[in-house]
Structure 1
């Protein structure tokens, strides 16, 4: 799990940063842990035949710059976020390190990646003022979607089996938080967002959607598949099924928004201490093997798992 020193000194525009905290993306990383990810898992990174597990993965990493190359925009002492794997040190290419203010605690800052995903999903779903929105799944992404949809003026219902996650959903603005067995499939939602990680839940999403509504899929299912009923309910209501993917800006916004503007919004949202409700107590990186085993055994028991690093461990208190 732990890389050694950077392979070389930073070149022009590059920085070396030392870890403060990193977050586990439970849905994606458990696909890898269970061997349920597609092969290759990431065509842009993986060589043909690369294993899905064991491997070092992650994309919610917060650190502090310790060395800079000529012309780098960030310097020693600056706090940064990067879409980088878990590990002590990273050599980050120009543009890979995104600056963070010290007013945002490092543990909360690991939410940046999932906040980008949630923002994009709310945009893709077309959530508007006064809309009735159903969110299926109260993992970290689902709960961030609840919070953002409420900020956009929607009335949000969360469907989630975990009592703890339902309570966090209510704290973040959900009007109702229901167990799946108590969920009434009323067909009245203006937007339905599927964030359970389970493809079989698409039938529930379709049953919630009102006529001409959009069902937006936030989850990455990996290699998992499930039959989906596209008969009477889906067909006669003229529903739309849309995938949301964070790598690109939705086409309706792309003429005005770019990744830098979206991350500026992420930074502003991360100032909200209410997001700390999503954070579990941090654990040392050396405990990763047991942490992944526990997450796989009881995935609904935790929210945002955060790894801490050495004597420079992150705290929830701003320095």
Structure 2
């Protein structure tokens, strides 16, 4: 038996660290000691702040290793990188990514972990879940060679989407954000940047990752006639108001949703969720993704870190939590 520390959301805006006993791994299981976890500024902060509507409690059980029930007490997160201490010989000592909450040690089935390829730093591997989401967004968006694409919202997901778009030949990518300081991040990602007051127009595709009604409205205003806006934000229980008068109908615009819970319909017949996750991991050989890692704290400070992020932290993209170092 191993003693571990785990972060729980006790109730909206209240987080605590609990001691938990972890059993020895059985056949086909691994004991993982956590090195880093990452905070999802979208979904996880919505859970922490109590903004998940009751109608979504069951569907929001997407992290396979959630403990407790929404709205709380609940242990909820899915960006975990650790080292396998015990398990099958092929995995022992390997650094792995797991869709597991903030916890110092845990046991899961061996097929629940994805080995991190040699050459990818453990901290960068925390972004596997974000890049997996970005892959799904682009499978839904289906950009073509030479497209002009805007990504509204230079957060963790928006930045990952923009970096992947940059790799498509001829595609012109512009990140749009209310925070002018995100220009520096866009430069590191190798993509264009525009302020919300001066966005480019007539874009072939506009992807909204801003989590705001204003961002979605801007997407409608800047997409080409007969164009499609892909909505990749999740609003929890917050209402969204749009201006669907004016030229929305005359320009025959389309709003389509994207969500990582299921593989995009365009790939669902020939890609599994495991394959999508493994693809995300391989793409993290790209060091430009380090631009998305913008803060780091000890696991001991998690309750305060979560409360601070929930209050608003405009300069934070992916904040990582440090649990230990590889042996």
Q: How would you bin the TM-score normalised by the shorter chain? A: 0.7 to 0.9
**1:40, 1:9 → 2: CA distance?**
36
- Report matched runs for 1:1-319 at 5 Å: 1=7, 2=17, 4=19, 6-39=21-54, 42-43=57-58, 45=61, 50-52=69-71, 55-68=74-87, 72=88, 74-153=90-169, 154-175=171-192, 177-183=193-199, 186=201, 188-309=202-323, 312-313=324-325
Q: 3-state DSSP class of the match of 1:141? A: helix
**1:174, 1:142 → 2: CA distance?**
12
Q: Which one is further off, 102-111 or 157-166?
A: 157-166
Cα deviation per residue 1:132-168 (whole Å; 9 max; x = unaligned)? Answer: 1111100010011111111123211211122332221
Q: Which one is further off, 227-236 or 153-162?
A: 227-236
TM-score (norm 1): 0.88
**2:73, 2:123 → 1: CA distance?**
25
Whether contact under 8 Å (1:199, 1:221) holds in the other structure is no
Cα deviation per residue 1:205-241 (whole Å; 9 max; x = unaligned)? Answer: 1111112221111111111112222334332222221
Q: 3-state DSSP class of the match of 1:134? A: strand
**Larger strand share, 1 or 2:** 2
Whether contact under 8 Å (1:80, 1:98) holds in the other structure is yes
1:110 CA displacement: 0.3
Unpaired runs of 5+ residues, structure 1, are: none
What is the aligned-residue RMSD (CA, Å)?
2.4
1:248 CA displacement: 1.8
Unpaired runs of 5+ residues, structure 2, are: 1-6, 8-16
Q: Which one is further off, 161-170 or 150-159?
A: 161-170
**1:313, 1:165 → 2: CA distance?**
30
Whether contact under 8 Å (2:114, 2:278) holds in the other structure is no
Q: 3-state DSSP class of the match of 1:121? A: helix
Whether contact under 8 Å (1:139, 1:303) holds in the other structure is yes
Q: 3-state DSSP class of the match of 1:300? A: coil
Give the paired residue count: 306
Whether contact under 8 Å (1:64, 1:79) holds in the other structure is yes
Counterparts in 2 of 1:298 and 1:7: CA distance versus 1, 3 Å: closer
Cα deviation per residue 1:241-283 (whole Å; 9 max; x = unaligned)? Answer: 1111112222222233222332232122111111111112421
Whether contact under 8 Å (1:3, 1:87) holds in the other structure is no
